[in-house]
Amino acid sequence: MRLTERRLTLRYLERQLLLARSPMGSGQAVRLLLGLQAQYSPSPYLALLARLDGASTTGLEDCLRDATVVKSTLMRGTLHLVAGADYPVWGEIWREQATEHWSRRCPGLDEKTAAAVAEFTREPREREELRAFMGELTGDAVTPRELLHVARALVPLVQPPPSGFWRHHGKASLQCHREPPELVGPAAMGRWLRAYLTAYGPAGLRDAAKFAGLTVGRVRAGLPYAGPVERLEGPDGRDLLDVPDAMDPDEGVRVPFRLLPKWDSALLAHTDRGRIMDPEVQRRVVNRSNGDVAATYLVDGRVAGTWSAGEKGSAARLVLTPLVRAELPDDAEPEGVRLLRFLHPRAARHSGEAAPFDGDPLP
């Protein structure tokens, strides 16, 4: 079956919980979505606010406290919140590739070295403390900036609470996650690939590899272990994979206005982001020099602009900056108020402003 651009977008938005909010809890949503970008501490909370009826700061923080959700460096070497039940396998997938890389740089790395790092990080360690320990283990084999990368390749390291809490910006500690993975190698990759397709399909193997930060060959090796898949053709003729019996919304379905946080994974999950964002808009949303991804808003399921919010005195204000010419729907105002009440719960007044579109989406 060949998908139109509209059908591809709608199928994607449905599994991203962006066609209708879900009543599921925070931990369940994190697991369904494979992981939430956590480079900026409020982002996971705002990602859930856009997708869940009952999103709250306490809901996700409780999941972090009881390790239902953990925070770690994973996909693309960036910080994510992922389900604690999945972390041993997801972490093993990333570490397999990282260990191969750093073993070439540091031939002395072995199981004895890994055991020493695991024992040292049995208790949470500050970054500088761990960096000093790794320097003693590796000598001059790598630069000081690379020492933590080597540690993460050797053992699964998570950032225990309060890292990951709402608006927490303090120094994070690192601790070894001691639960062993139940799967390794291609079987582990297959489980991850199926979870990726469930959250971000329809998609190709190159999409999955780019999102994960892994080689295409490594992802392809997991395909026989991913279970049944449906093969589709994208609007551009590319081969796509999806989980069987995935929801296929009608092309005429109404798509709600949504406000997404910085680094929302919905914008980063594919090599071709055209299903949700036009190329000229992407140049304004994704900073190619440092990888920063702006907070955005969706009109009819596509990125139409960026947003910022602030509080002055007792008033909170949302500013929308359009990147394409798109009329704001009726639900834009209540969505904006919902966001402001979440960001600034003490504010007595909430207002919004849409900057004028200058007619030129290019930088």
Return the H-helix or E-strand segment holding 162.
none
pLDDT tens by residue, 175-196:
999 999 999 999 999 999 999 9
Alpha carbons 73 and 78: distance in angstroms, whole number: 5
Of 352 and 91, more confident: 91
Alpha carbons 69 and 63: distance in angstroms, whole number: 5
Stated pTM of the model: 0.93
Q: Assess whether pLDDT exceeds 70 at residue 363.
A: no
pLDDT of 167 reads: 85
pLDDT tens by residue, 224-265:
999 999 999 999 899 999 999 899 999 999 999 999 999 999
Looking at residues 162-185, what average pLDDT do you find?
A: 92
Q: pLDDT-derived band of residue 360, with 50, 70 and 90 as boundaries?
A: low
Residues in CB range of 306: below 8 A, 6 or more apart: 284, 285, 294, 295, 296, 297, 320, 321, 323
Comparing CA positions, the residue from 253, 355, 235, 328 lying closest to residue 18 is 253
DSSP 327: P
**Length in residues, the chain:** 363
